Amino acid sequence: MNEQELTRIFIGSRADQYLKKWQDQKLQMHWPALIFGMYWLLYRKMYLYCFLMFCGTCLLTTLLVWAVLASNVPVELVSPIGFVPNILLSLFGYRLYQRFVYSKVKPYEEKPKYSLEIFKLYGGVTWSVPVLFVLLYVMGSVGFTIELIKFMY
């Protein structure tokens, strides 16, 4: 099986769309990455990239909070900077996903370690992980809010 066929198998149902975008070398906006950010990475099973983006976002948020608290900079001027990670992800989303796919396809093409069905499951998309993270985020936010209300009153 050649690289093109393995790439199609790994990506899944949207393979034609991604392969077409990858042929065009210009910078393109990836709207799902802009709108959903880290959740798009989880949906595409790009867990390491999601972790790195999460760490970068936490660092950026910490620096922004520190900047607001340490100076007289209004929050309204600083808060739009929080969108920068999603904007960057949307600009480089296609290339990032291409890199991710080829980093999985090339080793499998050279030396398959498992069946093609397992390889297909390894790629593609998943709804369970992003939904789980949304639920955990909501539960954490509600729990934090309840504790904050208890503390304040």
pLDDT tens digits along 60-115: 888 888 888 888 878 788 778 888 999 999 999 999 999 999 999 999 999 998 99
pTM score: 0.86
State how far the Cα of 34 lies from the Cα of 87, in Å rounded to an integer.
6
- Please state, rounded to an integer, the average pLDDT across all residues of the chain: 92
Report the pLDDT value the prediction gives residue 141, as an integer from 0 to 100: 92
CB 100 within 8 A of CB 46: yes
CA neighbor of 90 nearest in space, from 51, 39, 55, 147: 39
